[in-house]
């Protein structure tokens, strides 16, 4: 399959376990954050977002946590499944800027 | 995925030839973007558009030009392709009232 990053950080977890993927963002003025999932050979897919006035947001099997003090974002995936195998990356922006700044990504591998 | 299509999906061309990639969206999103994705670099912005006939450069615009003659189409042109432009190209769109970008499936370009 296609490699979106030869030197990406990797995370391997057992199927059924919970996964936590981390992201350090760069701009303390950023006020909107997005997590994307990119499967091999496909475009990035929106997973979940969070605004800076929140520190936690939950979706279906996913939770995003935001720590503005240390400029850290994390994505928690509950009960990981084989279909969760992908590269995950965060993006940050300032409301109204119309441009996203992307992190390098983490490759998540699910072991059977 | 905001109804985004890209064409062609795969292309092989020779150094020095012109190449045009097309992005088509059906969501009437105001903003459109062209990115390239390379191992070790993540997503990098080439050009973007904030409306019909309104475009601006991104961080890696040298050797690329764009045009947007109508809301739904955003064209990326490599005037004279070079081997360094071998990459996967993604188009993205964003609605005026949002900060989330939605991506197309990508075009894999190989310049020999």
From CA A94, how far away is CA B103, in angstroms rounded?
Answer: 19
B103: exposed, middle or buried (Cβ count in 10 Å: 0-12, 13-18, 19+): buried
Nearest to residue B33, comparing CAs of B100, B106, B94, B108?
B94
Q: For position B2, what pLDDT does the model report?
A: 58
User: Is the Cβ–Cβ distance between A82 and A15 less than 8 Å?
Assistant: yes
Residues of B in contact with A46 (CB under 8 A): 100, 102
User: Is the Cβ–Cβ distance between A44 and A36 less than 8 Å?
Assistant: yes
pLDDT per position as a tens digit, B2-27? 599 999 999 999 999 999 999 999 99
Q: For position B9, what pLDDT does the model report?
A: 97
**Considering CB atoms only, which of A36, A42, A95 is closest to B105?**
A42
Q: For position B42, what pLDDT does the model report?
A: 84
CB contact under 8 A, B42 and A98: no
Tokens of A60: 């279906």
pLDDT per position as a tens digit, B54-99? 999 999 999 999 999 999 999 999 999 999 999 999 999 999 888 8
**For every one of its 112 residues, what pLDDT tens digit does chain A have, with 9 covering 90 and above?**
333 344 678 999 999 999 999 999 989 999 999 999 999 999 999 999 999 999 999 999 999 999 999 999 999 999 999 999 999 999 999 988 889 999 889 999 999 8
Q: For position A97, what pLDDT does the model report?
A: 82
CB contact under 8 A, B103 and A93: no
Instruction: Assess whether pLDDT exceeds 90 at residue B39.
Output: no
Q: For position A104, what pLDDT does the model report?
A: 85
User: Is the Cβ–Cβ distance between B5 and B102 less than 8 Å?
Assistant: no
- Give strand ranges (E) for chain A: 10-14, 19-24, 32-38, 45-51, 56-58, 62-67, 72-77, 86-93, 101-102, 106-111
């Amino acid at each position: 399959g296609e490699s979106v990053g030869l030197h990406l950080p990797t995370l391997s977890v057992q199927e059924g376990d919970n996964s936590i993927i981390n992201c350090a963002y760069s701009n303390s003025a950023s006020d909107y954050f997005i997590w994307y999932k990119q499967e091999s050979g496909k475009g990035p897919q929106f997973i979940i977002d969070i605004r800076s006035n929140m520190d936690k947001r939950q979706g279906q099997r996913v939770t995003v946590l935001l720590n503005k003090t240390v400029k850290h974002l994390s994505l928690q995936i509950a009960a990981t499944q084989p279909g969760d195998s992908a590269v995950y990356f965060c993006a940050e922006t300032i409301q109204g800027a119309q441009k996203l700044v992307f992190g390098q990504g983490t490759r998540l591998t699910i072991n059977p | 995925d905001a109804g985004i299509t890209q064409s062609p999906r795969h292309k092989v061309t020779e150094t020095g030839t012109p190449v045009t990639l097309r992005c088509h969206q059906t969501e009437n999103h105001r903003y459109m973007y062209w990115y390239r994705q390379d191992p070790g670099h993540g997503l990098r912005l080439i050009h973007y558009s904030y409306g019909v006939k309104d475009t601006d450069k991104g961080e890696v615009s040298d050797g690329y030009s764009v045009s947007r003659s109508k809301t739904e189409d955003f064209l990326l042109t490599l005037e004279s392709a070079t081997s360094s432009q071998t990459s996967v190209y993604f188009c993205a769109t964003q609605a005026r009232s949002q900060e989330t970008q939605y991506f197309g499936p990508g075009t894999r370009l190989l310049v020999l």
